Structure 1
Amino acid sequence: MISAKRIRIEKNQEVSANYVKKKMDFINYLDNDSLAQIFMLLPISERITMKEVCSKWQEACQLAWHDIKKYKCTNTIVRNHKKCILTQRYVEKVLFNCGIYLKELILSLICDSSIMPIIAEHCKNLKTLEFALVEFGNKNTYRFVEAFTQLEQLKVVKIHISGYNFQFRMLNSLPKDINEIHLFFKPNGSPEISFDSGIIKSTLFTTMLFNSDPVAPSFFSLKKFTNLRSLTIHRCIITDIIQEISRKTTLVYLDLEKCKTKKEIFTFNQLLNLEHLNIKDVSFMDIPNLLSGIFNACKNLKHLDAPDFHVDLAEIKMENWVNWRNLVHLNIRWQASDAIIENIIKHCNNLEFINIDELNSESTIELTKLENLNHLDFEVTNIDNEVMVAIINNCKKLKHLVLPEYNMVKASIFYDLSKLQYIESLNLAFSFKLGDSAIIAIAKNCKLLKCLNIKNCNITSSGYIALTGLKNLEELNIEMSVNVEDNFVVKLRGIKSLYCSGCHELTDTGIIQFIKNNPDLEFLNISFNTNVTMDTIIAAEEAVKNRTNDTFLAIKSVDSDIEKACHEASKNRTNDTFLSIKTNDPDLEKACSESQWLIDC
């Protein structure tokens, strides 16, 4: 006979089970809008998974995407608690769900031209599109033409192109109201790119580059883009479009870095609205005084990057010096005089960077009076103690400082660098009089420091340990340093790039722990470290695989042990890799390919 007590227990258990069941199922009593609000708290990868649970959740998930206005291809995704390499198929799933809400889309090389019809169909409200290209052809061109025609809201397009052929005329299909076109070419083997019959074609960098037939501008024209404000073209022969560029008065931003032209006469004088001009490493043939009119005509110019052009600033009319009042960045070759420096100091109050490559000490000292100056680079210029004292006393807003290698700056002046409290990037490589006391003072006072280069300096372990107090430090170069040991690197946190080549006291133990302690590490140079072996590479891959972010790690090495590690990995490879080996060694490159590790040559 069952006792009353047992009956009560079983009844209570039954009630409890029913309660738990109802409690666990409570979420399904929510309406779809409420469920969607919950799903919107999840990352994109989890939202895609949620729709596979049941039909109700699938309906609710359709309402959980309107908050996604920007999507950028990352390196990896997390699915079922496992990190995987991102694929185009996954990106397509994302676009199916949130494409209609997207304003900005940034694709990577994992996506080819076959994704363009999907973008055209599902991303009608897109304002900004950025993507990379490595393959071309008529079929691919048709896909882009169709997509550009349908993306009527598009205002900004950025294209990164690798390879030999690009159907340039596809850009004629962009909306006429587009504001920005940015084209970044990176041809294989460093050939140049030229406009030829509507195709950008690879040509070796020889004198033959300038002997090809003229190109009809009808294949690509800027005329229809009446609201074009920003234009970037890198590594192209722009002869047949330079006239249109020079007359595009709506331009505010123009970047023609590493472009070339034939004997085509033009000026920038009509670009009165121009604020940013980059013609670094541009080859303009037989065009004298190309920039002379800019300084007299362009009243809004803020940034000029033309280090290969010598400009005689004495030709600037006195009444036009006022046009320089907005200048922030001035990178040209120029000769200093007392009058010119006086005008620069008087009229260029906003100047943050100015080229000082050909200036003597007296002129440089005068320029330190520019109160907003925050970038000084003496890499190819000698510097003396008097200049250093002027910089420390006058340039209170300095953020970036590069000293020449093998400089003779006194130890006491290095100590005073700690007064530069806003410094973010400091290059003191091969400064043999730099000592512990200066490094300790810099570490104590320069709390904003993000990038530090003290390659081959006379620092002891005490000085290195002090650097662990720099909480914002992201890039550190300590190459060829005999006193760098494991007990220093294991204490570093937040590092993204570490250059420790030739630090022979470092071992696997220290480097492995350093990698584990710095989950945002992107680059590590361990070349010529005799005590660092393949154990570091194997441990690095495991550590990177277990990261919760999507950061890849590139390791540079020339060690034969790394080659052995690659061969070993090729036998056991069962999943995606998140590690790349940076090398110029053909044997190591082959071993990396067999192991499926990425190669960054």
Structure 2
Amino acid sequence: MSAKRICIEKDKKTSDDDKVQKVVINSLDYDSLAQIFMLLPVPERIDIEGVCVKWKEACQLSCLPKEINEIHLFFESLLDQKQTRSMRMHGSSYEASRELSAEVLYTIFCTCKNLKHLDIVHCRNDVAEIPLEKWISFQNLQYLAISCNMTPDLADTIVKYCKNLKHLRINNRHHIINTALKTLTELENLECLILLNCIKLNKESIIAISNNCKKLKRLEISIRSIYDPPSSLSDLDEISKLQYLEHLKLCIGKSLKDSTIIAIANNCKNLKSLEIAGCSAITETALVALTKLDNLQKLDVSFLHITDSFISKLKGLKELHCDFCEQLTEAGFIQLIKNNPDLKEISVLGTDSITIDLVIAADQATKHRTNGIILHIRKYDLELTQAFKSIIKSQWLVVK
């Protein structure tokens, strides 16, 4: 047999062996592949993810230990390509891109029985498609952030199995079923409830939150509309029953009225943060009632019709956001800075109140600070920022 023929037959045999090996490895299931990839260094796993979809999902599974306590999803656009293709581990915390596959999501529900923190609000796969009985794995869950079609059955399941839940965030692609929301208010240990985007609430849901969620410290509601006519919007006043509230955010447009703000000011004495940006029906008369809140540190009244008279009465603040409050002048801001020595941020985007006189006054008011707090005035105007640099002498003042 010639050497040439031997070489040809050897190359043919090697090629056939490679095909057999490829067929064998591709016939393995996800778990078996994950077990193999788990033995590889992380950089090599990242490269393997680019081979095919199946290998990518298997690599994701290989990074998912059963003893994990936290899972977070992040936006790919915030990271470079290398990070986007990877799943990051920090101790018992697990981070992944929103490309989390249905297979990996299912595995999380089946295997992570010690999970306490699950943040998959950016997941493209619908959590509602996971079999309801798989939620039994999450009896230790304390933090849940999801985006899905919240049905009554899913709400019943969460209440049944996730009795230790303290933080619940629902970011809906559609509208939440009010029956489901009323069920979720039965979570006895709930301290934080965040309802975002296209959620529509009726008065029964508002009342259920107010009556059942007695331990709430944080409540955030962002909705496009409320089903009920304006005559029943006084039911929003029921929120003031939540006397342990420390952080309240109500982005509900004209649905929020003066009576609710006054009720909150009278009853929610532990309130530290209030965000009511864009609630244009609120008048300054109601806002003045907020000066009764001795613990209030952060206030967002952007897009509201407020004047110097109001902000001059504020004391104890650390943050004030008043973007596009066009009636405010430098006189009001100067008095605000003097009255609030711990003030660390003023946001004034869309106003013409940041003048040289205001910067000089702020410079004088902050240069003798002994609390170590830097005051940031945020105008987001590069030209003004450059112009004010030569004026500012205080190490405790920054204009951006």
TM-score normalised by length of structure 2? 0.71
Q: What is the deviation of 1:524? A: 0.8
Alignment of 1:201-280 (within 5 A): 246=63, 252-253=69-70, 257-258=74-75, 277-279=94-96
Structure 2: runs of 5+ lacking an equivalent: 1-39, 46-55
Cα distance change on mapping 1:506 and 1:258 into 2, 3 Å: closer
1:396 aligns with 2:214: yes
Residues 245 and 528 (structure 1 numbering): CA distance in 2 closer, same or farther, change over 3 Å? same
Q: Deviation at 1:534?
A: 2.4
Distance 1:378 1:336, change over 3 A: closer
Instruction: State the one-letter code of the partner of 1:508.
Output: E
Q: Deviations over 1:353-397 (max 9, x none)?
A: 142514322222222222223313233322222221221222222
- Describe the shift of the 1:289–1:219 C-alpha distance in structure 2 as closer, same or farther (beyond 3 A): closer
CA RMSD of aligned residues (A): 3.8
Asked if 2 retains the 8 angstrom alpha-carbon contact of 1:291 and 1:311, the reply is: no
8 Å contact from structure 1 (residues 361, 383) kept in 2: yes
Q: For residue 182 of structure 2, what is the amino acid of its counterpart?
A: I
The AA in structure 1 aligned to 2:362 is: A
Alignment of 1:189-588 (within 5 A): 246=63, 252-253=69-70, 257-258=74-75, 277-279=94-96, 281-284=97-100, 287-307=101-121, 308-312=123-127, 315-316=130-131, 318=133, 321-352=135-166, 353-355=168-170, 357=172, 358=174, 359-373=176-190, 374-405=192-223, 407-408=225-226, 410-456=232-278, 457-482=280-305, 484-530=306-352, 533-557=355-379, 563=384, 567=387, 570=390, 575=393, 577-582=395-400
Aligned to 1:95: none
Shift in Å at residue 322 of structure 1? 3.4
Letter in 1 for 2:207: V
Structure 1 SS opposite 2:209: helix
Q: Which residue of 2 aligns with 1:42?
A: none
Q: Deviations over 1:205-227 (max 9, x none)?
A: xxxxxxxxxxxx769699xxxxx
**Whole-angstrom CA distance in 2 between matches of 1:263 and 1:376:** 27
Q: Counterpart of 1:540 in 2: which secondary structure?
A: helix
Q: The residue matched to 1:379 in structure 2 has which SS?
A: strand
Deviation at 1:412, TM superposition (A): 1.0
- Greater relative contact order, per chain length (Cα 8 Å cut-off, separation 6+): 2
**Which structure has the highest helix share of the two?**
2
The structure with the largest alpha-carbon Rg is 1
Cα distance in 1, alignment partners of residues 252 and 377 from structure 2? 24
Q: Structure 2 vs 1, CA of residues 418 and 275 (structure 1 numbering), >3 Å: closer, same or farther?
A: farther
* TM-fit CA distance, 1:498: 0.7
Paired residues, what number? 336
SS in 2 for 1:398: coil
Alpha-carbon contact 1:292-1:311 (below 8 Å) kept: no
Asked whether the 8 Å contact 2:71–2:117 carries over to 1, the reply is: no
1:177 equivalent in structure 2? none
Deviation at 1:419? Answer: 0.7
CA distance in 1, matches of 2:67, 2:161: 26
**Which amino acid is the alignment partner of residue 209 of structure 2?**
I
Q: Which amino acid aligns with 2:274?
A: L
